[in-house]
Amino acid sequence: MITNHKLCSIYGKKPAVTDYYSKKKAIQSGKLSIHNYTNNRLIFNYQINPTSKISVVSESIDPFYINHMISNENISIFIECNNQKLKLSHNSGYIPKLYSFKYKLDNGYTLVISINEKGINNIKKEYLYIFILLAIICFLLCLAFALNHDKNKSIQQLIQQGLNKGEFIPYYQPIINSKTQQLVGCEVLVRWKRCNGEIFPPYLFIKNVENCHLIYPMTKSILQQVLADFTQVQVDDSFCASINVTPQQLENPQFMAECINIIESQKTHCPNIALEVTERMKFTDIDKAKSVMTHLSDYGIKLKLDDAGTGFGGFSYLQTLPLDTIKIDKMFIDTIGTNDMKRDILKAIINFGHETNLEMIAEGVETQQQVDYLAKKNVHIIQGYLYAQPMPFCKFKQYIKQFSHN
């Protein structure tokens, strides 16, 4: 929202839009105007009064048509309203000897696509190539399952079988204090190690695990393995191993009681345990979660908000739930040293963390420039490829030895 004297924007105090669009052709319908903007985008302006307006910038329009297969002479895309036309494609205008397709939008707007025979043929070829590619991929996947004698098993059966065989194992990614260069903890990340030696990262299976309601036995299995692993090494009293859980698990007092019992069974050799809950998934019963998390906190388990700033709860979770730590998502870390507008969100997260005395961990750190910037903002707890990738415990045990002499 822009007025003569003030600006309110999701991007902070700096305006996300410039007057560049005002020099371009536009179509007008009442208080709403649509202009071409930079990088193949559109900007929508709604004039509230003579001195105030709301501006919204669209995503790039390129993904909505296959322009890498079609030259500018073959296709034309316009939006029309009240005999006004606004060009969306890159060519110079309407194309002669072509077909025209119209689709009516809301409020009197119409999307017009004009295309000649060459353009239609190119589109047909594009979809044919996509169909052939998908067919080949499906065939290879089916063949792979057949070769592994799994063709008659559902994904749920495969996951259950993997759990029974102990195929889901923990990997460890170190967390370093950049100020002291000390190892202060690790995040535990699950991997699926099949009997044939193949190792799959969680994004290939974790959604299926959650949908099959097998996340509960998997989490307990990972926790038991972590506690068993740490009987082999000596770590500082402040060292903390973080295990990922879902919001639904934190709303389940019985499950969390079972996790506490597992920790109690290894109390003498147990490192500090933290539970990380992602903000990308929504709590369904925030009051129940608060009660369970308070009990966990009283027991001495730290609670971390993963992917902070990317999901449902935002700062409301931090104000409602007994969280100890914010994990700043890689999405925001990547804005350091760039002009990305999300850098203002990074600043807001860091400022909020300092004001509320929450510990902050920067995830996905890959460059020294990022470490230096974060250090200036008094954020020193770092996790990322700059220091180490996730690794099996046999390698992590060797990694820990680097810090034993300090």
Q: In 209-367, which ranges are E strands?
A: 240-245, 272-278, 302-308, 325-328, 359-362
Average pLDDT in the chain: 80
Q: b/e for 120-157, b at 16 or more Cβ within 10 A?
A: eebbeeeeeeeeeeeeeeeeeeeeeeeeeeeeeeeeee
- Return the higher-pLDDT residue of 123 and 220: 220
This prediction's pTM: 0.63
Side-chain half-sphere CA neighbours of 219 within 13 A: 25
- The three-state secondary structure class of 340 is coil
Rg (CA), the chain: 27
Q: Which of 389, 388, 370, 390 is nearest to 380 (CA)?
A: 370
Higher pLDDT pick, 266 / 335: 335
C-alpha 9/C-alpha 2 separation (Å) is 8
Identify whether the C-beta of residue 259 lies closer than 8 Å to the C-beta of residue 219: yes
Q: Tell me the mean pLDDT in the region 365-375.
A: 96
Spatial neighbors of 329 by CB under 8 A, at least 6 apart, are: 306, 307, 308, 309, 310, 363, 364
Percent of the chain with pLDDT strictly greater than 70: 72
pLDDT at site 70: 45
Task: Report the pLDDT value the prediction gives residue 11, as an integer from 0 to 100.
Answer: 54
Name which of 36-50, 61-75, 77-91, 263-277 the model is least confident about.
Answer: 61-75
pLDDT of res. 63: 42
Token pair 């990317």 is at which residue? 310
* Confidence category of residue 380, pLDDT binned at 50, 70, 90: very high
DSSP string, 1-61: -B-SS-B--TT-SS-S--GGGGGS-EEEETTEEEEEETTTEEEEEEEEETTEEEEEEPPPS
pLDDT bracket for residue 394 (50, 70, 90)? very high
Return the pLDDT at 18: 59
Q: Which residue has the tokens 């692993």?
A: 229
Q: How many CB atoms lie within 10 A of CB 237?
A: 6
Q: What is the pLDDT of residues 167-209, one digit of tens each?
A: 999 999 999 999 999 999 999 999 999 888 889 888 888 988 9
Q: What is the pLDDT of residues 85-102, one digit of tens each?
A: 777 665 555 555 566 777
Q: At what angle do helices 215-229 and 155-165 cross, to 10 degrees?
A: 20
Q: Is the pLDDT of residue 247 over 70?
A: yes
User: Using an 8 Å Cβ cutoff, are 393 and 170 in contact?
Assistant: yes
What pLDDT score was predicted for residue 145?
44
Give the residue, 51 or 185, on which the prediction is more confident.
185
